[in-house]
Amino acid sequence: MSTQSTTRPADASGVLALGGDLPVNRLGYGAMQLTGPGVWGEPRDPDEAVRVLRRAVELGVTFIDTAEAYGPFVNERLIRRALHPYPADLVIATKGGAERPGPDDWRSNGRPEFLRERLELSLRRLGVDRIDLYQLHRIDPAVPLAEQLGALAELRQEGKIRHLGLSEVTVEQLKEARTHVDIVSVQNLFNLANRSAEDVLDYAESENIAFIPWFPMATGELARPGGPLDAASRSHGASPAQLALAWLLRRSPVMLPIPGTSRTAHLEENVDAALVRLDDEAYASLTAVG
């Protein structure tokens, strides 16, 4: 394993073209933590949240993931406050299809009228005419999938969405969705310690669909003092989180991790993971311990 130095470390993560025409650096930023407890309300330190977003762009991050349900609404407004007018190479992905009655309370709503309303509001909050990547937050089992995707396809035809993605789906759901509309990304729980979505990742890679792992740095017992990731961290001179992110980046060319944090120092450490190069032995070792 080796590291290098740069003022824009995210550039070292490589480039992935969403939908074949929307290039982003493969190490992105997930903005969910820039809200209050339970992903509800304003962040504890709004000024630091703004600094985090601006620093992410300075470090070469060109993909920021958010959702209108984060806050709710708080996250999108904060991104606009920090970064609008947006750099030409910055892609802001958001999501719709989840209602938030209270902290830590998430409820799917895939009714076409609800999806349209929330997309329109996201456009206003973010201050854009089109969402580059709009993701269905969850498939609503109470609404036919064709109706949910049909509503989003109509919005895309109207020029309000560029590309469509899904979140937390199975291979079968992804295949079914693709019979209705083009899908360029899928966002599932995946990390070194939890690879339950490996079949979704393999399918996404075979179809050149971006795979956005949420909770990408979760290492659990692997990083405990004296554990395998802790030992690897000491021997390689990188933090457990950096090793976990470096492993993800090497795992697949369609991988687009979005580590999140509410602190600038932690953000800088995370983005520096793009500079970590795992040799074959280190990669195999991490794969085995996971």
If you write DSSP's letter for every residue of 75-130 in order, what string do you get?
HHHHHHHHHPSPPTT-EEEEEESEE-SSTT--EE---HHHHHHHHHHHHHHHT-SS
- Identify residue 60 by its one-letter amino acid code: G
- Residue 2 domain-assigned? no
155 near 161, Cβ under 8 Å?
A: yes
List the chain residues with pLDDT less than 70: 1-5
What single letter denotes the amino acid at residue 283?
Y
50 part of a folded domain = yes
Structure confidence at residue 39 (pLDDT):
97
Asked if the structure places residue 3 within a domain, the reply is no
Number of Cβ atoms within 10 Å of the Cβ of 26: 23
Q: How many domains in the chain?
A: 1
Q: Which stretches of the chain are DSSP H helices?
A: 46-58, 74-83, 112-126, 145-157, 171-178, 198-206, 228-236, 240-251, 264-271, 280-289
On whether the CB atoms of residues 165 and 181 are closer than 8 A, the answer is no
**Does residue 125 form part of some domain?**
yes
| pLDDT at site 68 | 98
Is 70 an annotated catalytic residue? Answer: yes
Residue 110 falls inside a structural domain: yes
At 13 the three-state DSSP class reads helix
Domain of 181, CATH number, reads 3.20.20.100
Which member of 29, 70, 134, 203 is catalytic? 70
User: 107: domain range?
Assistant: 9-289
Q: Which amino acid is at 232?
A: A
